[in-house]
Amino acid sequence: MFRKVLIANRGEIAVRIIRTLHELGISAVAVYSDVDRHALHVRLADEAVRVGPPLVAESYLRGDRILDAAKKTGAEAVHPGYGFLSENTDFAGACEAAGIAFIGPPAAAIASMGSKTEARARMIDAGVPVVPGGEAGSVDEAKITARKLGYPVMIKAAFGGGGKGMRWVAAEDDLANAYERAKSEATAAFGDGTVYLEKAIVRPRHVEIQILGDRDGQCVHLFERDCSIQRRHQKVVEETPCPVASGDLIDRMGEVAVRAASAVGYYSAGTIEFLLDESGEFYFLEMNTRLQVEHPITEWITGIDLVREMVRISAGEGLGYDQAAVQRRGAAIECRVYAEDPRAGFLPSPGTIDALRVPAGPFVRDDSSVYAGAEVSSYYDPLISKLTAWGPDRPAALARMRRALGEYVITGIQTNLCFHERLLRHPEFLSGNYHTGFIDDHRAALIDAPDQLPGNGEALAVALAVAVASHQQSTAGVADGDGGNGLSPWVTAHRARGLR
C-alpha cells in the first residue's frame, strides 16, 4: 500500500479523497493555486504545494508542475479526482513514465474511451447498443449526416464532457449556427473542436452504471444512478435506484457496462452512461474514465468506498469479491449545491460565504470544501457541496433530503437551495416521472415561483436569522432563543424561503 499520495485537484473532491487516505493511514499532499491558498483541502492535507496562479491552464492543468510536486514530496501515487487532468491520457502516461502510480485506469483505456467517436466504434465492435450517429467534419458533412439520421439531432464534442460543446438542433436551418457554436465551445473547453452528430432521443432518461475492475480482469458493476435532472446538459440531482427501471433492466444494463469496460482492458472505477428511452430501450452514450461527482449515492447503497477501492486497485490489489457479493440496500439521492442564480439561467454567483449551517443527522452526508468566510472563486466550478441522503426506500430518502435541505443555510452568495426544495416537492418528480428536459418543462414551478418576501428578502431573512441565532447563543443561550415567536431563528429562516 502507498505511504503518500498527491491529490491533483481542489475543492470538495480533494477533501473527500484526503479523508479516505487518512482512514487508510496514507499521508495526503495537496496542490493549490494562489486563490486556493487558504482552501479547506490545503488545511486538511499533510503537505501542500503551490502549482501556479488562479487560471487553471497555469495551475491545475499543468501536469508538469503536478508531477514535480509529487517528486519533491515523495508521493508514490497521484489521485486526479474528476475534471482537470483526470481523463488526460498524456498525464496518465507521464505518471507511469515517472514511476508514479496514476490512481485510475491505464492510459490506453483513457485514450480508447476519451474520444467519443472512437468509443462509439469500440462499443459497436463489442456488441454494445449505441445511439445512431455519424461524422460532422464540416457544416456540409453535418447536414448530410443529419438528413440520414433525421431531425432532431445532437451536435456533440468528440472530447470532454460536462455538457460543453453540445447543441440540440431541431431543423436544418438551425444547424450551421449551432455547429459553429458547438465547435467554438469545445475548442475553448477541451482544446479540440472536433464534433460529431447523434440522433436526438426525445424525452430520454440519463442512466449510468458504476463499474469497478482490477488489474487481473475481474470487473463488477455497482448498479445504476439516474442523472436525468439536468440544466444546460449538466447534472444537478441524481438518485438510485432509477424510479422507472426494473431489476431485470438494470441487470442487463450492468452486464453491457461490464462488457464495455472489459473490451478496453479497463480497471479502477469508471462509469458507462446510457440514454434510456420511453420504450425501455437503452443506448451507450459515453464512458467516464474516472470517479464521478455523484459517486456518494452508490457508496450509500453498496457500502463500498469507491476512492478506497481505486487506491487498492492502483496499489496492485484485487477486488476480492464478485458480482454476487455486491448487494443493493435502500435508496439514495444527491443534490448538487451550487453558488448560482437559477433565475438568471443558473449563472455562477461567486463571492464570500458570510454564514454557513450544514445539515446533519442520521444518514445525511455533505461533501464540501467551504466554511464561513471562504471565498467561492469565479475561476472555478461553483459547486459548493454534494448533499446526499439515504433511506430504506425512495420515499424515506426523499423525506430525509427535504429535511436536510431545510437545515441548510448559506448567506453572502446566491445558491440553488430553493430550487432543490421546490424540485423535491414537485408531484411529477415525486412520482418518478421525469426526463432530461424536466427543468425546462417545469420552469414556472421550479424557478419562476415568487418568494414570500420581495426582492432579496429571502437572503435578508436568512442573514437575520443567523445573526439572531448567534446573538442569542452568546447571551441567553440556545434554550431561550426563539426570537419571541416560539420558533427558532433557523425555522424562521427556512419558512422565509416560502416553502412551508
CATH homologous superfamily of 205-446: ATP-grasp fold, B domain (3.30.470.20)
Of the candidates 80, 18, 7, the residue with the CA atom closest to the CA atom of residue 49 = 7
Residue 85: its pLDDT value, please? Answer: 96
User: Global pTM?
Assistant: 0.85
For 463-476, write each residue's pLDDT tens digit: 555 554 554 444 44
Contacts made by residues 216-220, CB under 8 angstroms, sequence distance 24+: 216/318, 217/262, 218/318, 218/319, 218/322, 219/258, 219/261, 219/262, 219/266, 219/267, 220/258, 220/319, 220/321, 220/322, 220/323, 220/326
Residue 500: its pLDDT value, please? Answer: 41
- 429 burial (CB, 10 Å; 0-12 / 13-18 / 19+) is buried
- 386 burial (CB, 10 Å; 0-12 / 13-18 / 19+) is buried
Beta strands in 280-327 (DSSP E): 282-288
Quick one: pLDDT band at residue 325, thresholds 50, 70, 90? Answer: very high
| Contact (Cβ atoms closer than 8 angstroms) between residue 31 and residue 6 | yes
Measure the CA–CA gap between 113 and 122, rounded to whole angstroms.
8
Residue range 132-199 forms a domain whose CATH class is alpha beta
Of 106-120, 151-165, 323-337, which has the strongest mean pLDDT? 323-337
Of the candidates 456, 343, 315, 455, the residue with the CA atom closest to the CA atom of residue 1 = 315
Q: At what angle do helices 89-97 and 63-73 cross, to 10 degrees?
A: 30
| Contact (Cβ atoms closer than 8 angstroms) between residue 453 and residue 460 | yes
Catalytic option among 205, 290, 394, 400: 290
* CA 231-291-10 angle, 5° bins: 80
Measure the CA–CA gap between 91 and 89, rounded to whole angstroms.
5
Q: How far is CA 7 from CA 143, 267, 278, 423, in A?
A: 44, 19, 41, 34
Quick one: pLDDT band at residue 481, thresholds 50, 70, 90? Answer: very low
For 83-123, write each residue's pLDDT tens digit: 999 999 999 999 999 999 999 999 999 998 988 778 888 88
Residue 217 has pLDDT above 80, yes or no: yes
Of the candidates 253, 215, 271, the residue with the CA atom closest to the CA atom of residue 129 = 253
Omega of the bond prior to 204 within 30 degrees of 0, cis? no
In this structure, how many other beta carbons lie within 10 angstroms of the beta carbon of residue 95?
25
Quick one: pLDDT band at residue 479, thresholds 50, 70, 90? Answer: very low
Residues 4-103, CATH architecture: 3-Layer(aba) Sandwich (3.40)
Catalytic residue status for 290: yes
Residue 464: its pLDDT value, please? Answer: 52
* Phi and psi angles of residue 95, each rounded to the nearest 5 degrees, phi first: -60, -50
Residue 451: its pLDDT value, please? Answer: 56
Place of cell 504545494: 49
Residue 491 has pLDDT above 90, yes or no: no
- 471's grid cell: 446573538
Quick one: pLDDT band at residue 211, thresholds 50, 70, 90? Answer: very high
Return mean pLDDT, the chain: 90
For 12-50, write each residue's pLDDT tens digit: 999 999 999 999 999 999 999 999 999 999 999 999 999
